[in-house]
Chains A and B, each alone.
Chain A
């Protein structure tokens, strides 16, 4: 299976104003921070709200989901002793809120799926996307991932000792995938593997017959932010490397103790 990567964007790269990315004021007002973060990144990656109609599937991935809303509803439930609760945080707390809100914003009736599987949620969504493109079920897919770090999770994970060895972080990244090479295509994904064991750099180079030029990027180094779907942001960074002239980038993701995954991206020549 091979697929082509078109436009993509990380949350850090978003330039447009929130109002233009999420024009519906009512929707925008009810969105929590992470939902705004993810939806705005998705719309920016597509190049505008009108483009949402042009994708035939929306795939999202998140390890933690909409934490702030879950926390808020849980907090209210406990402090208000289960009485007269505001439903909005409950409504917005479901893991597929971002996928649903993008569909709602762009009146998109297509396939809409959400993977919530720790460190390889993004790769699971990518696998689904690549199968859909290979089967001809989709021609153009919006794929993305998001995770937020709330003060509560920061505190809990601090107590778990996470931040002694990792950088705190959060983020969102979205991209379009197509089955065929198009004018906007910038890279292709030629390999997506779910490994059963860890591999060293030398083992990766020999197993995937990589040239000396191939860059290997890990998603769980000490210097990079630590959150479940950082691999999606790393993926967009790899695309940027290819845009700047790299021929091949291998992403190796062993985030959160899961079995490692391998994604191999290539320039289009």
Chain B
């Protein structure tokens, strides 16, 4: 049974909506700004921040303004609503939601904590009610009228890819007729300081897969796709999700193994699940964060799997920043569009290959490509490595 992609929705630093994002990608215009302008922080570091306040996001979502709705939920709501509208789901389907997030309502919790640490009788309780990951999922489901099975996955930066993987299974087991899968994460002082304390944030715009790379830039956003069983759509699908796999690197809590064992197994597993040979892959939307460790390890895993037949590949994190749990969802939308529109995205700011593996990503946007098969990689803390395979 093939699983088809019937709808797309995305929000990132590039803007709100599929067309806004695609136009910026095609024009090679980054969404990464030199420093946060909305996030409350003392750090002056480049971030992929959506330049819309929470008030503006409420208005776009068409929901009454509340100071107690997390930014993560608002971003997710925008993307899910777009994806569902795009899928044109008929009445009567059992529609579910598998949503991924790693920060949840941390933006509101930070607000609460600032007064709570001074005096534990203070801090507005409504600000912590959205702390848990499931809170954003429930808000999205409620406002989008999703009444079927819903769950929340949180495996750090591979979360959204894992949501896609689960969504496929829910359809194959006929537990749902359509499922919205993907993830959402807002920028937060918590994650910005977390990655800063690990010393893996670049003080300049990131340079994924470049010899001079110095780290990642954080981003925010949400990306979701609607999945349905083949033959049950109301219109032509964008493409199919042929397979997905997850494997653990089992090397270190945050760093990737030198040979990228988990990455290799995840990519191989996705290809095997889809019955596709490595030589058939046309494009890889790599995890490519821009850290010394990831890009070396991921590249080595690619060399091991593809040998001399390296497919075209690029990291789109130079455009969006690393959006953590949302990355796999946003990049799934980009991967689907690569097949549907025959394009390969630029890997921004690439100049020199990493000497250890010598791999060269696509440096500039390409159009009129015949892209039939795309792998999308997402790797996270806890050794969690996932890869999703899209086919025409």
Report which A residues bind B (CB closer than 8 A): 1, 30, 58, 63-65, 70, 73-75, 77-79, 81-82, 85-87, 90-97, 99-101, 103-104, 106-118, 120-121, 124, 128, 131-132, 134-135, 152, 155-156, 159-160, 194, 196
Contact = CB atoms under 8 A, between A and B. Distances in A.
Contacts of B196: 82, 85
B384 A96 contact: yes
Contacts of A101: 253, 382
Interface string B270-292: 00000000000000000000000
B153 A91 contact: no
Given A73-B190, A79-B117, A82-B193, A94 B154 contact: yes
B368 interface: no
B189 interface: yes
B169 A131 contact: yes
A77 B189 contact: yes
Interface string B186-219: 0001100110111000000000000000000000
A93 B249 CA distance: 19
Interface in B142-173: 147, 149-156, 162, 166, 169-170, 172-173
B121 to A, nearest CB: 8
A100 B253 contact: yes
Contact of A109 (B114, B117, B120, B250): B250
Contacts of A63: 132, 134
30 contacts: A1-B173, A30-B253, A65-B154, A73-B193, A75-B113, A78-B113, A78-B117, A79-B117, A82-B42, A85-B193, A87-B198, A90-B193, A95-B102, A108-B250, A109-B249, A110-B247, A111-B246, A112-B246, A112-B247, A113-B153, A116-B133, A116-B153, A117-B133, A118-B134, A120-B151, A128-B169, A152-B116, A156-B116, A160-B125, A194-B149
A78 B117 CA distance: 8
A12 to B, nearest CB: 25
Contacts of A114: 153-155
Given A74-B113, A109-B265, A124-B151, A100 B382 contact: yes
B137 interface: yes
Given A30-B253, A74-B109, A95-B156, 12 more contacts: A1-B173, A70-B190, A85-B197, A90-B190, A90-B198, A94-B381, A96-B155, A96-B156, A112-B155, A112-B248, A113-B155, A114-B155
B134 A73 contact: no
Contacts of B156: 94-96
Q: What size tier do the contact residues of chain B reach?
A: 35 or more
A113 B125 contact: no
Contact of B43 (A64, A70, A82, A94): A82
B295 interface: no
A58 B134 CA distance: 21
B298 interface: no
A131 B168 CA distance: 11
B28 interface: no
Nearest to B115: A78
Contacts of A97: 253, 381-382
